[in-house]
Amino acid sequence: MTTKFLVAHFTISVTVSIHGSSNRKKRRKTTPTDQLMNRRTACKLMGLAALAPQFSCSKEPTFKLRYVLNSAMYGEMALADILPEIKKTGSESIDIWRRVHGNQREQITEMGDEACKALLQTHDAKISMSTCYPLGPTGLQEEMVWLQQYGGKIIVTGSGRYPDSEPKGDAAKTQVKKMLEVLKPHIAKAEETGITIALENHANQLLYHPDSLRYFAEFNTSNHLGIAFAPHHLYKFEEEIPQLIRDLGDQHIPFMYFQEHSEGIYGKVPKEIEMQQLPGFGGGLDYRLIVSALRDIRYSGLVEIFMHPTPRGIPILPTIKEITGAINQSRSYIEECLEATA
């Protein structure tokens, strides 16, 4: 008789000879010792089967987002006053912006790097990013060296045009390949300095249409070049956002904005409409779908709660306390979305 036991997803067959079986071909007579061994084997296997769930149902680690604080949210306020807000906003580090959106990068140049490092030490703070739209993807090599000394890892900029604005289809494919060729010496410098260049999917540039983003994922081979994923520039393709995140994967998204489209991005509107760029402030973007996609790819990059005030360069709200409060309101909403989709 053959008895089967399921042990940790493997089927094990044990053949037990029973005295008096109808199969009377030349078979050694079953002894009491044989029967005892068969019973012992069966009991051991049943014991392993009982333990199997402990090995096959291990719980996945809790998925958490890594927040970085955007210095431009505070306009041109002093860096010394902004640094204490890093921990208050649940962030692990700060993203340093320059004019016209903020001027913290210029403040550091004025005070000097040694003074800046001392200031960071005083507040137990870390610079992880530099955002450099004016420099473009081919003008970052000096900034890479500068950021390296702080232990920073990511520089954000636009992708530029090669030569078209917002190409799609075959044109996007051709121009993504051209961009990657043009950027080769800059990618090499990024690899040398341990920096990742994050290109935003910005309107009026190459990496805007979903086609160009998917071709980027197909042809990019460097871990030091990726996408600064910006949902607010994809509002015309809102339904595609979660799948785009999955298509790009963790390896191609070192950084992501938590910002959505609003009439207040480009023009003066009532403050409550302008604030709808922030998650949880009444905009239409469903962040449950976004955080679900991020969980699916086990996202390990940085995320940043952000909005554009009009005009650029002013704080999003009058005081530091109000700005930090708004960021935390958004973060609470995002964390609720995470919990709801766990």
My answer on whether 46 and 118 are in the same domain is: no
Same domain flag for 47 and 134: no
10 vs 250, residue with greater confidence: 250
Name the band, by pLDDT with cuts 50, 70 and 90, for residue 199.
very high
Residue 275 within any structural domain of the chain: yes
Q: Is residue 192 part of a domain?
A: yes
More confident residue, 159 or 4: 159
Query: What's the average model confidence in pLDDT over 310-337?
Result: 97
- Ranking 6-20, 23-37, 323-337 by mean pLDDT, the lowest is 6-20
Structural domain contains residue 284: yes
- Verify that 51 and 130 share a domain, yes or no: no
Verify that 154 and 28 share a domain, yes or no.
no
* Domain shared by 70 and 195, yes or no: yes
Q: In terms of domains, do 290 and 253 share one?
A: yes
Q: What is the pLDDT of residue 267?
A: 85
Q: Which of 159, 155, 153 is nearest to 126 (CA)?
A: 153
Answer yes or no: do 274 and 179 share one domain: yes
pLDDT digits (tens, 9 = 90+) for 267-309: 899 999 999 999 999 998 999 999 999 999 999 999 999 999 9
Q: Is residue 33 part of a domain?
A: yes
Residues 108 and 133 grouped into a single domain: yes
pLDDT tens per residue across span 90-138: 999 999 999 999 999 999 999 999 999 999 999 999 999 999 999 999 9
Number of independent structural domains in the chain: 2
Which pLDDT band, with edges at 50, 70 and 90, does 24 fall under?
very low
State residue 7's pLDDT score. 36
Give the DSSP H or E segment for 316. Answer: none
Least confident of 10-19, 171-180, 323-332: 10-19
Domain check: are 190 and 228 in the same one? Answer: yes
Instruction: Indicate whether 89 and 52 sit together in one domain.
Output: no
**What is the average pLDDT value for the chain, to the nearest integer?**
88
Q: Tell me: do 267 and 168 sit in the same domain.
A: yes
Last residue of a domain, one of 36, 56, 76: 56
| Helix H or strand E segment including 287 | helix 287-296
Does this model's pTM top 0.85? My answer is no
Report whether pLDDT(326) > 90.
yes
The answer as to whether 217 is a domain residue is yes
- Domain extent, residue 11, equals 2-56
Tell me if 79 is assigned to some domain. Answer: yes
61 within some domain? no
32-86 pLDDT tens trace: 445 544 555 544 444 544 444 444 445 667 899 999 999 999 999 999 999 999 9
In a domain, 28, yes or no: yes
Going from the C-alpha of 50 to that of each of 15, 37, 45, 93, 309, the distances in angstroms are 21, 20, 9, 47, 61
**In this structure, what CATH number is given to the domain that contains residue 271?**
3.20.20.150
Rounded Cα gap, residues 241 and 232, in angstroms? 10
Q: Which residues contact 255 (CB under 8 A, 6 or more apart)?
A: 68, 129, 154, 156, 198, 226, 228, 229, 301, 302, 303, 304
Q: Are residues 41 and 77 in the same domain?
A: no
pLDDT at 264: 82
Q: Of how many residues is the chain composed?
A: 342
Tokens representing 302?
């940085």
